[in-house]
């Protein structure tokens, strides 16, 4: 995540997987496995 904090949650949007940061609200995409 952007702020490097560990408190994130995983969100799925169609075929993409995102990490939503609970601290700063940033959203970063994760590559499909």
Phi, then psi, of 14 in degrees rounded to 5: 55, -110
Per-residue pLDDT of the chain (33 residues; tens, 9 = 90+): 578 888 889 998 888 899 999 988 898 888 766
d(CA 20, CA 31): 14
What does the pLDDT read at residue 4? 80
pLDDT of residue 9: 92
pTM, to two decimals: 0.59
The alpha carbon of residue 28 and the mean position of all alpha carbons in its chain are separated, in whole angstroms, by 5
Domain that holds residue 6: 1-33
Q: Which pLDDT belongs to residue 15?
A: 86
Q: What is the distance between the alpha carbons of residues 28 and 2, in angstroms, rounded to a whole number?
A: 8
CA 30 to chain centre: 7
- Name the DSSP class of 3: S
Q: Which two tokens stand for residue 32?
A: 């499909």
Q: How many domains does the chain have?
A: 1
């Amino acid at each position: 995540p952007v702020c490097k904090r560990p408190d994130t949650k995983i969100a799925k949007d169609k075929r993409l997987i995102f990490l939503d940061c609970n601290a700063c609200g940033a959203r970063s995409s994760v590559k499909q496995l």
